[in-house]
């Protein structure tokens, strides 16, 4: 027995399932397509579970083939739909899910999502022996063990395009703008778009926001006339609205607030996300066939990586310090 693998005497695989769960991410459809195409080439039947863990419990299963997965590469969202399922948090709910998996003859599962999805996959493997691998599908890029997650590249490009447009207005009207981007626990999106768009200050969960430093940045060389501050939604200040209020209360400086929100999740995936999604989808199928289970299939330094699911949330993935230093240097 090898850690992260099933016993050699386990029965051969004939039918696998794939599903998407948690927040949608651009590239999930390219991932589903890659799983279907790879599995078919390997002689496996592929089932799509519709609606994440809720669909797994309810028995919403659909056969996937070339026709069903055609012309979905460039589509945002997920054709398999997604959900957040409270019932699955309970052992009874997970038992119902396993009953449906067995009823439909599923030998292995590919789960695409973030840390919540991986927690569920881990429980299925540990409690019921389900052969399951995860692939990282989240725009936050906050899963340890993979350099990038599916959807991240599209999200930062979407955010950068929006911020470029906001800066035009900030410059035209001489206004201070606080722009909030997604990232509940990690500031990857905020730092990357902040550097790319020339933000005067970037507030992220990894660092304490210094109001005095922010004020000095706003006032430096008259930048208050055309200043853009990027705020990660998980910043300890409480987000863009709270940070804007603190600046106005402390220094009397008014501002405009723009919360980009869920627009960062939508839209056609970039080429980078399509390729990453395809590579991880194909690798996930081969990982199941090779006996891997209870692991995430990621990409590290250009190579496919097999990471125990528990490590993806037990180890914190933080923004590289050099990016934070670069953001300060280029102000």
Tokens of 253: 């400086």
| Known catalytic residue at 164 | no
User: Shortest CA distance to 21 belongs to which of 106, 86, 84, 89?
Assistant: 84
Beta 15-20 vs 201-203: how paired, if at all? Answer: unpaired
How many Å apart are CA 141 and CA 137, to the nearest integer? 8
How many Å apart are CA 288 and CA 109, to the nearest integer? 8
What is each CA distance from 182 to 57, 62, 138, 189, in whole angstroms? Answer: 30, 32, 11, 7
In contact, 265 and 24? CB cutoff 8 Å: yes
DSSP-derived 3-state class of residue 201: strand
Set 140, 153, 192, 273: catalytic member: 140
User: 113 forms bridges with which residues in the sheet?
Assistant: 136
Tokens of 190: 């905020």
Task: Give catalytic residue positions.
Answer: 140
């Amino acid at each position: 027995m090898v850690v992260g693998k099933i016993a050699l005497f386990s029965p051969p695989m004939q039918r696998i399932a794939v599903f998407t769960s948690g927040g949608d991410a651009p590239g999930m459809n390219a991932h589903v397509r890659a799983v279907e195409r790879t599995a078919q080439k390997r002689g496996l039947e592929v089932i799509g579970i519709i609606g994440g863990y809720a669909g797994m419990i309810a028995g919403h299963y659909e056969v996937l083939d070339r026709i069903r997965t055609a012309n979905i590469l460039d589509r945002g969202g997920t054709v398999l739909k997604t959900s957040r399922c409270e019932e699955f948090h309970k052992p009874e709910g997970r038992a119902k899910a396993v009953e449906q998996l067995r009823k439909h003859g599923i030998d292995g599962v590919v789960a695409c999502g973030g840390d919540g999805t991986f927690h569920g996959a881990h429980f299925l493997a540990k409690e019921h022996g389900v052969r399951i691998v995860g692939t990282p599908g989240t725009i936050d890029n906050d899963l340890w063990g993979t350099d990038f997650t599916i959807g991240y590249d599209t999200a930062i490009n979407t955010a950068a395009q929006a911020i470029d447009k906001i800066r035009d207005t900030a410059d035209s009207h001489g206004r201070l703008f606080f722009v909030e981007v997604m990232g509940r626990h990690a500031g990857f999106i905020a730092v990357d778009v902040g550097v790319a768009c020339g933000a005067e200050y970037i507030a992220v969960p990894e660092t304490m926001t210094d109001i005095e430093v922010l004020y000095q940045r706003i006032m430096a060389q008259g930048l208050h006339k055309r200043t853009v501050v990027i705020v990660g939604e998980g910043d300890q200040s409480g987000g863009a609205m709270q940070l804007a209020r603190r600046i106005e209360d402390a220094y009397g400086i008014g501002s405009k607030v723009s919360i980009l929100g869920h627009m960062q999740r939508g839209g056609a995936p970039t080429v980078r996300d399509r390729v990453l999604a395809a590579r991880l989808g194909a690798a996930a199928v081969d990982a199941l066939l090779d006996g891997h289970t209870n692991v995430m299939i990621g990409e590290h330094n250009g190579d496919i990586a097999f990471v125990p699911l528990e490590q993806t949330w037990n180890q914190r993935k933080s923004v590289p310090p050099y990016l934070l230093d670069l953001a300060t240097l280029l102000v």
